[in-house]
Structure 1
């Protein structure tokens, strides 16, 4: 009989392996898994932008270019976690809103011009029908 392990997540999003229908929690390597993924934490420094040195040195800076300093409750470790800047998110939101507004105006003008063309075509048809009578 072969043992087939299927990796997944159990309660609390902890990694587990399912072997022959039995759930076995995986041994977590503390160096591989950040403490904020397995325990509760408190943000000790708000989200800030990484400088050029940090971008090259810290892998957590790569996804967004911003990090926040956190303190894990059980282990009392200070770590850095990638985060999304509120200012950047707000700027992206307003860009999106502006794009949607511009598209709305363009499509409204297209609808109005199409409606006028259809109205002209219908009145031409009615005029031709009245002339033929």
Structure 2
């Protein structure tokens, strides 16, 4: 797992046409919504910089930037819960990626299938506009 230098913009190898479309946070990151390709199930949200996106597109192994560790990580490299990338898309604003994967094992760091199944929030009854 390699780390990047804060503020550094190394030549990532990312296609310049793709890089030009990205709208990044001040930290140089773009959120990536990760979805199971055949069911549409949303598995997790992760962060990518140009290097992580380049690695993901060229290897088909989902690679992210860990904000807590300050390093790149390939999903499943240590856990075995691998994400094989089926497709990748950039939204119309260029500020969010959609990564569609074939998930093996749990996607969440807790071991759950998704990061969104542990704590559903209550909604008002339909038609209640208050």
Taking structure 2 as the reference length, what is the TM-score of the superposition? 0.24
More helix by share: 1
Q: Which has the higher contact order (CA 8 A, sep 6+)?
A: 2
Larger radius of gyration: 1
